[in-house]
Structure formats: C-alpha cells, structure tokens
Amino acid sequence: MAIFTGAGVAIVTPFHEDGSVNYEAFEKQIELQIAGGTDAIIVCGTTGESSTLTHEEHLDVIRFCVEKVNKRIPVVAGTGSNCTQTAIYLSQEAEKAGADGLLLVTPYYNKCTQKGLYEHFKMVAESVNIPIILYNIPGRTGGVLIQPETVVSLCRDVKNIVGVKDATGNISGVAKVLQLANGDVDLYSGNDDQIVPILSLGGKGVISVLSNVAPKQTHDICQLYFDGKVQESAQLQLKALPVIDGLFCEVNPIPVKKAMNLMGLNAGPLRRPLTEMEDEHAEKLAAAMKEFGIL
C-alpha cells in the first residue's frame, strides 16, 4: 500500500531574519496545509533547504513536524545524503521521531554507478523499518540518474523501498519505469507541471512545491483525476502553469519563499548561498499568482 496518494507538499522551512528556524511560522504552515487538503507532508527536502540545515536542525525540524501533524496525514522525512552512513544516521533518527516514511535523494557529487546506487539505497533501507521513496533528480546530483531498471530492482528486492519521486522531467523514462514495474513501484511526480501526465501513466500523485501556496488546488488536480474527472483535472493543471513557471524561474526554493512572503505566510529569508529573487521575476510571479487567485 502506498505511503500516500494525491498531493504531498514539499514543505518550506521558514527562518527568522537571524537565520534560525521559525517554528511558530512552521506550525501555522503545517495547519494551513492540512486544512487545505494536502495528502502528506514531505519535510526537509530540497524545498525545505535541507542542504543548509545542520544535522541537529534537520532532525529537530522532522521531530517538530511529526509532533504537530500527530498522524493526521503521513509525514515523509527527507534523509538522503551523498554519504551512506550519514543517510543511515538521519534515517534511523527520523524513524525514531515517528516519521511515516523517508525520501532518499540520489547521492550527489560522488557520481556513483548503478551498482553503487543500488548498494547505497539497500544499505539505508535495511537500517530502518519504515517505507522509503527514492528521489530521482539528476539536475541536482551532477547528472546521476537512477535508471528505470535499478528503480524497479530496488522496489522488488528491498521490502521497504516502495517507490520513487521522479523529477527527471522525462516522461518517457517515467513510462519505462511503470511499464517495467507492473505495479511494483509507487511513482510520484516531482514536477508540478507534469502531475496529470504522470497520473495518466499510473502515478500515485505528486510531491509538490506548488502546494506550499496552493494546497487545495494541487490536491484537487489529483483528486479530480482519481474521481474520473480527467478533463477538469487537466484544466486545473493547465490553469496553474503560469504560477508553476514562476515558481521555477529561479532555483527552488527561492521563488516559493517569495510567493509565500507575498501571501503573508512568513517563510522568511533564504540561507546562503541562495539569495532573494530578482525583482523582475518577482513581479511576474506575483502577476501569475493574482491571475490564479491566490494573491
């Protein structure tokens, strides 16, 4: 059984102006997501700026999220690393904290082979008991890609590796995974502009940046599709495209934090090396948000 179906939010980590985690704003954000119909919260992923959190902060944010959600919806914790032992440590601690599942990004910088990927993910999975979603995002990992055959092998060979978040942008690759898997892989879109296409191939949903600012609409794209209202789902997907384009016109999470701050959601600043959004991009994003009815 899938960890979740529908729209999971890749939730932002809000910061105070001094750079510390703003837990008050984070709690409000969690409540807004649940009230908006979000189907799962994915904490400490790319959008949560996990790469600039210390290990202590990383685990504290996971613990806080798990506690505040209190089993109302699943919490999936990002615990990946380019170091297998670090990924094992973070994964074990997230399991102790009560996370319902883990999201493991492909190791970056090391540029390992498919054999290395297989062994890395297998070792991490065998160190915990909760289900794991692989995270395939070659644009963030020096071009390292988990090949479809490797994804399927991991999901079949390792009992608690259950799926993959696909942020490759390659619909043909998605189709190949699902064709080879024959139901053995839960696949989630990692790109907000490809939710409906991936659902049409048999995907389970999306792990979404858009959900931070439009939880109901992102949930509805998935739910309409599941309810057989494919045309309405596609129309909502297309209507959201200008906002999605704005949210990815600079590297994530620069634009989504700007969008949240424009909405008064108090996401706060970014940690360096990320910098604030360029004014011309911010103006286009704001215009798209107004057109979509969320600003």
Active site residue 96: no
Q: CA-CA distances (angstroms) from residue 275 to 45, 46, 87, 257?
A: 18, 15, 27, 11
Active-site pick, 68, 71, 122, 165: 165
Q: What is the pLDDT of residue 186?
A: 98
pLDDT at 104: 98
Q: CB burial class (10 A; 0-12, 13-18, 19+) of residue 178?
A: buried
Omega before residue 253 within 30° of 0, cis: yes
Instruction: Specify the pLDDT at position 18.
Output: 97
pLDDT digits (tens, 9 = 90+) for 31-77: 999 999 999 999 999 999 999 999 999 999 999 999 999 999 999 99
| Longest pairwise C-alpha distance within the chain | 49
Is 108 catalytic? The answer is: no
Q: How far apart are CA 22 and CA 28, in angstroms?
A: 10
Q: Express each pLDDT in 185-236 by its tens digit.
A: 999 999 999 999 999 999 999 999 999 999 999 999 999 999 999 999 999 9
Helix (H) or strand (E) segment spanning residue 199:
helix 195-200
Overall average pLDDT of the 268-277 stretch: 97
Write down the pLDDT at residue 1: 76
Give counts: helices (H), strands (E), the chain.
11, 8
Domains of the chain, by residue range, sit at: 6-292
- Say what percent of the chain tops pLDDT 70: 100
Residue-wise pLDDT for 258-269, tens only, equals: 999 999 999 999
CA 264 vs. chain centroid, Å, equals 22
Q: In sequence order, what DSSP letters do the residues of 138-155 get, joined into one string?
A: GGGTTT----HHHHHHHH
List the catalytic residue out of 96, 118, 122, 135: 135
Q: Supply the CATH classification number for the domain 6-292.
A: 3.20.20.70
What's the whole-number average pLDDT of the chain? 98
* Among 188, 290, 208, 178, CA closest to 242: 290
Query: What pLDDT, on a 0 to 100 scale, did the predictor assign at position 197?
Result: 98
